Amino acid sequence: MAKRKSKFVCQSCGYESPKWMGKCPGCHEWNTLVEEVVASSTKRGNWTSSAATIHKPEKISQIQSQEEPRIKTQMQELNRVLGGGVVPGSLVLIGGDPGIGKSTLLLQVSSQLAESNVDVLYISGEESIKQTKLRADRLNINSDQLYVLAETNLVDIVNQIDAINPGFVVIDSIQTVYKEEVTSAPGSVSQVRECTSELMRIAKQKHIPIFIVGHVTKEGSIAGPRLLEHMVDAVLYFEGERHHTFRILRGVKNRFGSTNEMGIFEMKELGLVEVLNPSEVFLEERSQGVAGSAIVASMEGTRPVLVEIQSLISPTSFGNPRRMATGIDHNRVPLLMAVLEKRVGLMLQNQDAYVKVAGGVKLDEPAIDLAVAISIASSFRDQPPQADDVLIGEVGLTGEIRRVSRIDQRVQEAAKLGFKRAIIPAKNMDGWTPPSSIEVIGVESVQHAIRETLGQS
């Protein structure tokens, strides 16, 4: 009897080892190597091919370019994140926390495409057909062109795709699908890699867009090896706070569009509803005339979003003051406080600082620095800035206000929402024409910005 061969594969990075190790040499994670049986093959690969299957290289100047028609969904937010719509033959991976709304989003998209005379095959590996029907009833989804299949065997899934020949396929989720030839358990590195490769082949050959759902780890990244994200055409993250009804769809990889786009949805009783003007939503509950509040115009892809930044500065009761931040990088708060203390003269070393981005949104661009600094100074002085001011700019360590990108779109969004003044970097004053309804003030330093917004102390 032949001896069974096995290998140990890291479930995080895909590193293979002939023996078990507690720590993976590839990604340095602990207890991630799992034993997998190596499938023995009695056939040798045939390296010869007929002349009919040989693809010869072509000159790029002689290749005819052709614009791919995109499939438009009724969700403008999803179309924006995908770069204008669903590309035929694309393989898209959607990840997110459990219960965040991934299945709800894809079931709504499937229903909309089915209503547009497109055959849709929704394959659920985690729910039965009756459970999927209950969700569809809650969302008022009922279409004759939406097919539902509860299956995890990849061979049966491929056979159903061949039989129905749908125009759109959803796999929920890739961690439940298995291939019989692979001896490891479903969700392992080998299974995810082989199943995704087979789905990629089907998408390209049959020109069918396939959406697959991926689980996420406790760190927030998609479970399985990073190879999974490299294989697909687009990677979307569906995120949001459990205590907020808003959900944010971000594109972190997209071969057919920008990777900086963001779509905002609101979870309601009848499913996800897209938010077309997120600035009004984020600002509808703000308190005017309160110290520690500042408005910033942040860019999320090609869309400007106005968000409120709140700060609370209070004397500390401990030897080491606390620095807490929600919605922004926590390392940015002590950095900006050090600039205010050194360049402006605010004694913040014995003050606790709590900074929050209202609405549950996360901001990570440098243009929010000025608004954070002004909100901290406003709370420390207990002096509110003007309610119709919007602040835009990056703060350097020497206290200068540095140039930011797309200043015209940010200011136009602020003017559209009724703001009267925009405090921007002085280097951004030239090369564009601001709207007549808003006054634009260029500042060169943090001291200058504080004088314009809070006045002399």
Q: Binding site for ATP, residues?
A: 96-103
Give which of 126, 127, 128, 121 is closest to 106, Cα–Cα: 121
Cα–Cα distances (Å) from 115 to 83, 144, 313, in that order, read 22, 9, 54
**What residues form DSSP beta bridges with 390?**
422
| Cβ 324 vs Cβ 330: under 8 Å | yes
Which runs of consecutive H residues, i.e. helices, occur in 13-82?
Answer: 76-82
What is residue 325's three-state secondary structure?
strand
For residue 135 the two structure tokens come to: 């969700």
Mention every residue, 6+ apart, whose C-beta is less than 8 A from residue 433.
none
Give which of 371, 338, 335 is closest to 356, Cα–Cα: 371
Backbone angles phi, psi at 302, to 5 degrees: -95, 5
d(CA 138, CA 130) in angstroms, rounded, equals 12
| Cβ 234 vs Cβ 254: under 8 Å | yes
What is residue 405's three-state secondary structure?
coil
β-pairing, 351-357 vs 303-315, is antiparallel
**What residues form DSSP beta bridges with 389?**
421
Cα–Cα distances (Å) from 262 to 238, 242, 341, in that order, read 10, 19, 35
DSSP state of 341: I
For residue 218 the two structure tokens come to: 């406790």
| Cβ 358 vs Cβ 286: under 8 Å | yes
| Cβ 161 vs Cβ 206: under 8 Å | yes
What is residue 436's three-state secondary structure?
coil
For residue 319 the two structure tokens come to: 């030897």
Return binding residues.
Answer: 96-103
| Cβ 376 vs Cβ 335: under 8 Å | no
